[in-house]
């Protein structure tokens, strides 16, 4: 579908959604829960019995999501660069790039990945690559393990922004003091387009990392100020505002989270993210919660950002 057709589809979806029709526009598909890192804040990886989906299973899930109306897909893990599936009657393997090609063939407008960048990702077939970066140097290594930042930096550099590259920082009470340094690093690093901010969501056994609500709100004010000054923050200002916490609850609530449907590594499905399943929506830190809230509060800024279809090749403004 050409760009005009995509815009028409989005317009139609939005009007219908405002009228009360709930069809997902975006899907998050976890294709494995095997990982090469053991991050402090994460509870997604599975050590003993990791699940790895077949190419055929992923095809069926993608087709189901597309039929339900979804047109954007983000693949998640575990670590996507560990995923492979043997091609029938051959010694060759499908890789994450074959999965991305499949999503495009099916008709998704955009297919993105999130990686920890411990393995090279040159030549990725994704429309945007999200790299998880929880600070610079020691800040990142404290969350993700010794040497992980050096490998990330090396692989980001080797990628040379072949496609838009956004780093994804999850702020918690261990790395919060590293946010300013991270913003300077991103601003001056020619290999990175944007940074997206999430806050720690306290899944089971990671509760101790939850950021104090007052500190979180103050940080959000500072991030909005950085954004005004031209720092390449991907979150919209309205989306950030909606991630503030009032009386122990995030403002954005989970009211609009049905926009994204989820299929987990075990094949189970949910019309909302795992935060909903785990009962932590009141303390949600995921960017998408804030962005969806402002989209349905008719924020022109968020609508415009959405219209860029996550395919924008705009380079960040250098200062």
Ligand X SMILES: C[S@@+](CC[C@H](N)C(=O)[O-])C[C@H]1O[C@@H](n2cnc3c(N)ncnc32)[C@H](O)[C@@H]1O
Which stretch in 10-18, 75-83, 259-267, 296-304 sits in contact with ligand X by CB under 6 A?
Answer: 75-83
Is the distance from CB of 200 to CB of 211 less than 8 angstroms?
yes
For residues 10 and 99, which CB has a smaller minimum distance to ligand X in the complex? Answer: 99
For residues 116 and 236, which CB has a smaller minimum distance to ligand X in the complex? Answer: 116
Which stretch in 36-44, 155-163, 217-225, 298-306 sits in contact with ligand X by CB under 6 A?
Answer: 36-44
For residues 79 and 238, which CB has a smaller minimum distance to ligand X in the complex? Answer: 79
Q: Does 140 bind ligand X (CB under 6 A)?
A: no
Rounded Cα distance between 110 and 69, Å, is: 14
| The three-state (H, E, C) secondary structure of 207-238, written as one string | HHHCCCHHHHHHHHHHHHHHHHCCCCECCCHH
CB-count burial class (<10 Å; 0-12, 13-18, 19+) for 26: buried
Rounded Cα distance between 231 and 285, Å, is: 21
> For ligand X, how many residues bind (rule: CB under 6 A)?
20
Buried b (16+ CB within 10 A) or exposed e, 85-109: beeeeeeeebbbebbbebbeebebb
Q: Does 116 bind ligand X (CB under 6 A)?
A: yes
Q: Which residue is nearest to ligand X (CB)?
A: 132
Helix (H, G, I), strand (E, B) or coil at 195: strand
Which stretch in 71-79, 84-92, 175-183, 226-234 sits in contact with ligand X by CB under 6 A?
Answer: 71-79
| Nearest Cα to Cα of residue 168 among 203, 213, 228, 128 | 128
Q: Does 76 bind ligand X (CB under 6 A)?
A: yes
Query: Looking at the chain, how many residues does it have?
Result: 319
The two structure tokens encoding residue 276: 């909903």
Half-sphere exposure (Cβ direction) of 76: Cα atoms closer than 13 Å: 19
CB of 243 to ligand X, least distance (A): 12
One of 77, 178, 289, 306 touching ligand X (CB under 6 A): 77
Q: Does 79 bind ligand X (CB under 6 A)?
A: yes
One of 7, 42, 251, 309 touching ligand X (CB under 6 A): 42
One of 70, 112, 198, 265 touching ligand X (CB under 6 A): 198
- Give 108's DSSP letter: -
Interactions with ligand X, residue window 230-249 (CB under 6 A)? none
CB of 10 to ligand X, least distance (A): 25
- Helix, strand, coil fractions of the chain, as percent rounded to 5: 40, 15, 45
CB of 169 to ligand X, least distance (A): 8
Taking CA atoms, 265 is separated from 19, 50, 191, 280, in Å, by 33, 9, 31, 20
Q: Does 41 bind ligand X (CB under 6 A)?
A: yes
Binding flags for ligand X, 44-63, as an x/- string (CB under 6 A)? x-------------------
Q: Does 35 bind ligand X (CB under 6 A)?
A: yes
One of 13, 197, 203, 256 touching ligand X (CB under 6 A): 203
- Give 32's DSSP letter: B
CB of 273 to ligand X, least distance (A): 10
* Interface residue list for ligand X (CB under 6 A): 35, 41-42, 44, 76-79, 114-116, 132, 168, 170, 198, 200-201, 203, 206, 285
């Amino acid at each position: 579908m050409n760009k005009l057709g995509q815009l028409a589809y989005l317009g139609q979806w939005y009007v219908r959604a405002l009228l009360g029709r709930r069809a997902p526009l975006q899907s998050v598909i976890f294709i494995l829960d095997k990982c090469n890192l053991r991050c402090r804040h994460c509870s997604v990886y599975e050590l003993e019995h990791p699940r790895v989906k077949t190419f055929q299973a992923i095809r069926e899930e993608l087709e189901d999501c597309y039929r339900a109306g979804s047109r954007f897909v983000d693949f998640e893990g575990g670590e996507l660069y560990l995923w492979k599936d043997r091609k029938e009657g051959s010694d060759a393997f499908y890789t994450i790039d074959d999965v991305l090609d499949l999503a495009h063939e099916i008709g998704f407008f955009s297919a993105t990945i999130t990686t920890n960048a411990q393995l090279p990702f040159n030549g990725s077939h994704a429309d945007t690559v999200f790299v998880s970066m929880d600070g610079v140097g020691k800040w990142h290594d404290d969350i993700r393990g010794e040497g992980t930042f050096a490998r990330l930096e090396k692989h980001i550099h080797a990628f040379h922004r072949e496609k838009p590259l956004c780093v994804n920082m999850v702020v918690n009470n261990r790395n919060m003091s590293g946010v300013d340094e991270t913003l300077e690093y991103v601003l001056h690093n020619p290999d990175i387009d944007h940074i997206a901010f999430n806050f720690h969501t306290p899944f089971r056994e990671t509760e101790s990392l939850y950021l104090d609500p007052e500190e979180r709100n103050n940080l959000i004010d500072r991030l909005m100020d950085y954004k005004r000054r031209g720092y390449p923050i991907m979150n919209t200002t309205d989306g950030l505002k909606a991630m503030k916490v009032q009386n122990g609850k995030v403002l954005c609530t989970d009211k609009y989270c049905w926009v994204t449907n989820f299929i987990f590594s075990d094949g189970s499905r949910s019309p909302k993210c795992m935060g909903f399943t785990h009962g932590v929506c009141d303390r949600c830190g995921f960017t998408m919660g804030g962005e969806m809230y402002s989209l349905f509060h008719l924020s022109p800024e968020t609508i415009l950002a959405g219209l860029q279809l996550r395919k924008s090749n705009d380079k960040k403004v250098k200062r």
